[in-house]
Amino acid sequence: MPAQPIIDGPIVDHPLAETYHQRWFIVDDAGQQLGLKDIPALATLTLAIAHSYLVLRAPGMLRLDIVLDVIEDDDSVFRQACVRGQYLDVIDEGDLVAAWLSNLLQQQCRLVKVHPDSTLPSTI
C-alpha cells in the first residue's frame, strides 16, 4: 500500500510502507519542521523500502540507507521537535544523515523520527 514515510516526502509503494507512514520529518536547527514549501529541492528525493531499510536517493548523491526499526538506547539522540505546530519527542537520525540531507537541500537540516511513545499530531 502506498505511503509517505517522510512528511512532505515522496510516496513509497511497498507492502510495508503503511507501517512507516509519516514516521520521519525534516527539521531546521531550531527543531521546526521543514516541508516542500520551505525546501523545494525535497521534490528531487526518492524513497524506497528494501531489506529493512528506508533507502534515500537523489540525483548526484550516493544512496543512503536508514534502518527502519532501531531500539534506541543512547539518550543523546532524543530531542524535541515541532511538527504541525506541536512539540513532540523525536529521535535524531544522526550527523551522517543530517549532512546528506543538508547537502541535498542546500540548508542545514536534520532528519528525525517520531519517538515510539509519541503521537504525531493530525493535519491542521
62-87 tens-digit pLDDT:
999 999 988 777 888 899 999 988 99
The pLDDT score that the predictor gives to residue 71 is 76
Verdict on whether the full-model pTM lies above 0.85: yes
* Whole-angstrom distance, CA of residue 102 vs CA of residue 85: 23
The pLDDT score that the predictor gives to residue 123 is 53
Average pLDDT, the chain: 91
SS3 category, 42: helix
* Whole-angstrom distance, CA of residue 78 vs CA of residue 93: 10
Nearest to 107 by CA among 48, 25, 28: 28
In this structure, are residues 12 and 4 in contact, taking their beta carbons and an 8 Å threshold? Answer: yes
Strand partners, 90: 79, 114
Parts of the chain with a pLDDT under 50: 124
Q: 58-91 b/e with 16+ CB inside 10 Å = b? A: beeeeebebebeeeeeeeebeeebbbeeeebebb
* Whole-angstrom distance, CA of residue 89 vs CA of residue 78: 7
The pLDDT score that the predictor gives to residue 124 is 40
